[in-house]
Structure 1
Amino acid sequence: MTERMNTTEIFDGVRLPGFIHTPESLKAACSFQFQDTDILLVTFPKSGTTWMQQVLSLFFCEGHLWPIHNLPTWARMPWIEQISFDSLLSKRNTSWPRLLTSHLNAKWLSPALMKSKAKVVYMARNPKDVLVSFFHFHRIAGFLPNPSSFEDFVDEFLEGTGFFGSWFDHVKGWLSLQKDLSLLFVTYEEMHQEPRCTIRKLSEFLGRPLGPKEEDIILEHSSFSFMSQSNMVNFSLLSKEIIDQSESKFLRKGVVGNWKEYFTPEMNEKFNAVYQSKMGDSGLCLPWTMD
């Protein structure tokens, strides 16, 4: 598959890395037959996907941590739109419900989801922190172009012309379905600030009661310190050709507000203006501050 490293797929006007997507894999995702017991994690890239994959996996371990120590997150919760999906799904732990992941837009997956009672966990993050993290990911991922400059990357993000499309459309699209789907909205910020409360919210949504000891196990094994050292989580299993972590780590900082170290006052003003124009009338209650 290395010959597709520099391939770009255009799907419904959105750019996606061809190294992990094909027209066939994307079409298959849109017509995927969800089961009522499925749990689907949806995020825009760099919104805490790996963190939530780890958390959701831990919910179903029931104290038996072999999968956490021996299976990478992408095998425990494969992306339904990626080339490797069918192979990974066939090897899944059948004692668990199907734990799935996607970065795709709501309009592509919602028709299939509405035919089932599958549960959706939608995780979002302050878009400024998403942007900074995605910028660094472009620098280490061999299947994404190296950004010409941070300023150009900001412009591309605001215009929605970068890889995976518009953050604004992604968030608004999925959160508009809260009444139509069994969907729980979680943010990176609340996970960071009140992890135990977030675990309990997930517990209620998933119908998986937890005792204090089980909560502690989830919190310990989903901490940044644990995940950054685990090669089942930190993507160190992948070759340097795919993810080159020599200059920047996949799990870089795990903090809130890192964007302040990168944005100039002019960038911040421009970003806030676009954010207000696109999100101001959305009616969504989003927990982050833009200053």
Structure 2
Amino acid sequence: MEQEDAIRQGLGSLHGIPLFKSFIEGWPQVKAFQARPDDLLISTYPKSGTTWLSEIMDMIYHNGNAEKCRRDAIYNRVPFLEMKVFKGPSGVEQLENTPSPRLVKTHLPVQLLPTSFWEKDCKIIYMARNPKDVVISYYYFHLMAKVHPDPGTMAEFLENFMAGKVAYGSWYDHVRGWWEKKQEKKILYLFYEDMKKDPRQEVQKILQFLGKELSEETVERILHHTSFQEMKKNPAANYETMAFTFMDHSLSPFLRKGITGDWKNHFTVAQNERFDQHYQEHMAGSDLHFQMEV
């Protein structure tokens, strides 16, 4: 596809899920993707701490060696499975050239995950974030990451988000789909807010899930290297190496605030009340709960 086609793409529909048209073009390769038994999948709804979790995992895989984790940009160290845009290699092509054990990133809802991940019994870590912060972060991401359609105003974007008319569809369906799947599959389900409150405890959960032990000193190094302050200034983690054509950091940095509760700086009282009501309706009957602030 041509470079200009990758900019401000419209969304198509893939099995009822809104998705970038270029990603839909690449879908046959994604669907047929062959996972390896030692792959680890990092799954999230967009803007839910994906890059943070990816950096933590790469540090764990390299036993806390920060230099090794600066070997390349995060999007090359943890390839994005369904990625398919202008000229560069697709996520599938990148992964095929990545030696095991691979870290794989996806935003796909659970029902669209290639079946080979289930067949090979791969370990999966899902991270969820409260929807109020997700929508604000996603709005700013739309402004700077030009593969997205123009988000319009914050109020317009909020409407689209609540209606599930954004890339990857309904946040509710996404977080609930993966939550329900973990009853039967090898999935560690983490929360962004817990990671903000007590990153050490969450890293220990990950290590336990992996059956891996690291010294206190190594865990300390991982926590330092993956703190928001460190990642924000690390070109291998902050996406500043991504071509300006695709990401304009002057509009909004990729790593913007990394906090919980930023929605309070953006939502009006009326928007918040309406969102709360919408949330109650869509989460009714689920035992999945989110902290809107910490």
TM range (shorter): over 0.9
SS at match of 1:176: helix
- Write out per-residue CA displacement over residues 124-173 of structure 1, whole angstroms, 9 at most, x where no aligned residue: 00100000000001111111122221111111111111222100000111
- Work out the CA distance in 1 between the residues paired with 2:68 and 2:5: 30
Moved more, 99-108 or 63-72: 63-72
Residue 110 of structure 1: CA displacement? 6.5
1:29 is aligned to: 30
Residues 1:16 and 2:19 aligned together:
yes
1:38 is aligned to: 39
1:87 is aligned to: 93
1:187 is aligned to: 191
**Considering only aligned residues, what root-mean-square deviation do their CA atoms show, in Å?**
1.8
SS at match of 1:168: helix
Structure 2: 5+ residue stretches without partners: 85-89
Structure 1 counterpart of 2:226, one-letter code:
S
Structure 1 counterpart of 2:258, one-letter code:
G
2:231 is aligned to: 227
- Work out the CA distance in 2 between the residues paired with 1:281 and 1:107: 20
Structure 1 counterpart of 2:291, one-letter code:
W
Structure 2 counterpart of 1:180, one-letter code:
E
Residues 1:7 and 2:13 aligned together:
no
- Write out per-residue CA displacement over residues 165-212 of structure 1, whole angstroms, 9 at most, x where no aligned residue: 100000111111112210001011011100000010000001111110
> After the TM superposition, which parts of structure 1 deviate over 6 Å for at least 4 consecutive aligned residues?
none
After TM superposition, the score normalised by the length of structure 2 is 0.92
- Write out per-residue CA displacement over residues 203-222 of structure 1, whole angstroms, 9 at most, x where no aligned residue: 00011111101101110110
**Residues 33 and 92, structure 2, Cα contact 8 Å, conserved in 1:** no
- Work out the CA distance in 2 between the residues paired with 1:240 and 1:110: 31
After TM superposition, the score normalised by the length of structure 1 is 0.93
1:62 is aligned to: 63
SS at match of 1:107: helix
Structure 1: 5+ residue stretches without partners: none
**Candidates 182, 202, 209, aligned match of 1:205:** 209
Identity %: 33
SS at match of 1:263: coil
Residues 1:177 and 2:178 aligned together:
no
Mapping for residues 64-143 of structure 1, pairs under 5 Å:
64-83=65-84, 84-92=90-98, 94=99, 96-109=100-113, 111-143=115-147
- Work out the CA distance in 1 between the residues paired with 2:93 and 2:35: 17
**Residues 82 and 92, structure 2, Cα contact 8 Å, conserved in 1:** no
Residues 1:256 and 2:265 aligned together:
no
Residue 37 of structure 1: CA displacement? 1.3
**Residues 26 and 82, structure 1, Cα contact 8 Å, conserved in 2:** no
Residues 1:52 and 2:53 aligned together:
yes
**Residues 109 and 178, structure 2, Cα contact 8 Å, conserved in 1:** yes
Residue 18 of structure 1: CA displacement? 3.5
Structure 2 counterpart of 1:132, one-letter code:
I
Q: How many residues get paired? A: 286
Residues 1:162 and 2:166 aligned together:
yes
SS at match of 2:119: coil
**Residues 10 and 16, structure 1, Cα contact 8 Å, conserved in 2:** yes
SS at match of 1:121: strand
- Write out per-residue CA displacement over residues 29-60 of structure 1, whole angstroms, 9 at most, x where no aligned residue: 23322222111000000000000000000011
- Work out the CA distance in 1 between the residues paired with 2:66 and 2:153: 42
**Candidates 250, 253, 256, aligned match of 1:246:** 250
**Residues 9 and 149, structure 2, Cα contact 8 Å, conserved in 1:** no
**Candidates 127, 142, 149, aligned match of 2:153:** 149
Residue 283 of structure 1: CA displacement? 2.1
- Work out the CA distance in 2 between the residues paired with 1:80 and 1:91: 13
